[in-house]
Structure 1
Amino acid sequence: MAPLEIDRARARAAFDAYVAPYDASNPRVALKIEHTLRVAELAEEIARAQGFTPAGIDLCWLAGLLHDIGRFEQLRRWDTFNDRASADHAAIGVDVLFEGASHLDDPVLVNVVAAARADDAFAAHAREAGALAAFAPEAASDPAASALIRAAVGYHSAFRLPDELDIRTRAVCDVVRDADKIDILRVTYTDDVQTVLGITEDELLASAVSPATEDAFFAHRCVRRDERTEPADYLVALSCFTYELVYPASLEIALDQGFIFQPFERPFGIERPFTNRATAQLMNRMDGHLRAWVDEQI
């Protein structure tokens, strides 16, 4: 059997068609379109650098293109990136790609959003244009490739991957997770705090770092969502992504891009220091700690 080949032009055209009805004038929607395309490119770059086969590189690229497909319905319905305040965007993505967008019929979800957002036209669009077959029929008809894409989308934002994943699936999931982390670090340089967190600069600069988030940072692990209780926790959580990049190529790419230390140096382009003095001091200490850790790795 010939190795699976993904028609990238068709997949990219299908992505453009899928996101077209969503409001690109909303900066959060625009952010996610741009983020998605960069993650697909990064996933390809990491996979290639790590010596994946051409078929594996194609699957990593496709998984990167589809990893955040659930964000668009999340934004349309709730206009937030906060899964705890809305729904798990990765689960929505799996549902759109593989389950016929059945979440759009869930009365619990429909009842918690404005009636105008429970739109039949969007429901039909998600079912027809959001299925994996619309992006890559060759992957949709291949059970192994389909299962791999489902895992990569479903677990891309999970705190930890399940232990039972096979080696190939874990490898692709790790590529997508690394690519996602690298590009999310970019948002603290290219986007503003209102778009990403829905708060003002003053609110961010006055916030504290929660003890659980501080502990996670110095334990060299990512921060769980339920441990983030303060706005400044988001910045620390971003910096922790560096600790858990799986592939050597990922750390090299992240360093080349130059965003690893952005959460401490100039978050969201803000020039002013933290008005919370304890936070300012802690951020300075964390910056030095992370730089020393990175130096040890390279």
Structure 2
Amino acid sequence: MYSTDKTEKWFDSYVDGFRKDGRLLPLQELKRKHSRRVMALACAIAESLEWNEENDAWFAHAAGLLHDTARFSQCRDFGTFSDRASFDHGDRGAEILDAEFDWEGIADADRKKLLTAVRCHNKIEIPSNMPLSTYRWCALVRDADKIDVYRFIQHSIEKGNISEVLPRHGKAAEISPQLVEEVRERGRGSYENAHSLQDFRLVQLTWALDLNYPVSAVTLREEGVFDKIAEELKGFGIDDVVEALMRKINGM
């Protein structure tokens, strides 16, 4: 049935299965909290967009809460959140949910929509041929996910524990030339070319252009997140790249 309480109970039970001596691994606990924050953000965005068709509230809740389902086994089995070193967590998450989630009372068409939102939340792009009725849920989860990551990374930098959050991305003397070239040519950056904290922040700045709903960009602009990233990237010889991105971001 379309019940947020039932969905939360399933999620809690699934996550509890990864506990050892009653505790999750630190990275798993991080993802548990992240999942709940993304759930709240997805619900807030959907409400602001006045999505009030039947089961819309459940869809926003479930898509946000379940989007990172595969992260828990990824951490247990590989000790990493790197998809390149393990598996595509969007694809695997959809597989896990398809096999293990309680779908009783949920229409098959809605099951497919939710699975597609989970599968596509981490892809470079949402497939352009996707029906609008499914596309909007993919777009919603992607925006909510990005907003929480932006906030979490910014908070970690300000708190001084970013090295614990991104242990592979230490500070560097320069930004990856391959990444800069990629951003110049394509307007986006990939994790493959991000080797330092500054590289990751440049990739994050390009994420802004992939936000789907105006409320998402406005929220982050008002919080000053984009301005803070741009400030961090000064002095690396890529002012033209950053300024070009900021002009697009401020025009959204």
Compute the displacement of 1:138 (Å).
3.2
Hey, what's the Cα distance between the residues in 1 that align with 2:195 and 2:163? 17
- The residue that corresponds to 1:19 in the other structure is 15
Structure 2 gap segments, 5+ residues each: none
- Three-state SS of the structure 1 residue aligned to 2:226 is coil
- Three-state SS of the structure 2 residue aligned to 1:51 is coil
Hey, what's the Cα distance between the residues in 2 that align with 1:26 and 1:259? 29
**CA 1:39–1:220 in 2, change beyond 3 Å: closer, same or farther?**
farther
Hey, what's the Cα distance between the residues in 1 that align with 2:26 and 2:164? 7
Hey, what's the Cα distance between the residues in 2 that align with 1:280 and 1:61? 42
Compute the displacement of 1:249 (Å).
1.2
Compute the displacement of 1:291 (Å).
4.1
Hey, what's the Cα distance between the residues in 1 that align with 2:47 and 2:237? 38
Compute the displacement of 1:162 (Å).
1.6
- The residue that corresponds to 1:122 in the other structure is none
- The residue that corresponds to 2:209 in the other structure is 243
- The residue that corresponds to 2:175 in the other structure is 209
Compute the displacement of 1:260 (Å).
3.2
Hey, what's the Cα distance between the residues in 1 that align with 2:165 and 2:62? 25
User: Is residue 6 of structure 1 aligned with residue 30 of structure 2?
Assistant: no
**CA 1:235–1:7 in 2, change beyond 3 Å: closer, same or farther?**
same
Q: Which of 167, 175, 196 is residue 165 of structure 2 equivalent to?
A: 196
RMSD between aligned alpha carbons? 2.6
Alpha-carbon contact 1:71-1:89 (below 8 Å) kept: yes
**CA 1:219–1:34 in 2, change beyond 3 Å: closer, same or farther?**
farther
Alpha-carbon contact 2:38-2:145 (below 8 Å) kept: yes
Alpha-carbon contact 2:150-2:225 (below 8 Å) kept: yes
Higher relative contact order, structure no. (Cα contacts within 8 Å, ≥ 6 residues apart): 1
Matches within 5 A, 1:145-164: 145-164=110-129
Compute the displacement of 1:283 (Å).
6.4
Hey, what's the Cα distance between the residues in 2 that align with 1:220 and 1:242? 14
Matched residues, percent identical? 26
Letter aligned with residue 27 of structure 2: R
Hey, what's the Cα distance between the residues in 1 that align with 2:110 and 2:10? 18
Query: Normalising to structure 2: TM-score of the pair?
Result: 0.84
- The residue that corresponds to 1:178 in the other structure is 143
Alpha-carbon contact 2:69-2:93 (below 8 Å) kept: yes
Hey, what's the Cα distance between the residues in 2 that align with 1:87 and 1:240? 24
Hey, what's the Cα distance between the residues in 2 that align with 1:71 and 1:244? 23
- The residue that corresponds to 1:138 in the other structure is 105
Alpha-carbon contact 1:188-1:263 (below 8 Å) kept: no
Letter aligned with residue 228 of structure 1: A
- The residue that corresponds to 1:295 in the other structure is 250
Higher Rg of the two aligned structures: 1
Letter aligned with residue 85 of structure 2: A
Hey, what's the Cα distance between the residues in 1 that align with 2:136 and 2:12? 27
Alpha-carbon contact 2:189-2:206 (below 8 Å) kept: yes
**CA 1:8–1:263 in 2, change beyond 3 Å: closer, same or farther?**
same
**CA 1:231–1:86 in 2, change beyond 3 Å: closer, same or farther?**
farther
- The residue that corresponds to 2:75 in the other structure is 75
Letter aligned with residue 104 of structure 2: P
- The residue that corresponds to 1:167 in the other structure is 132
Greater shift, 248-257 or 153-162, is seen at: 248-257
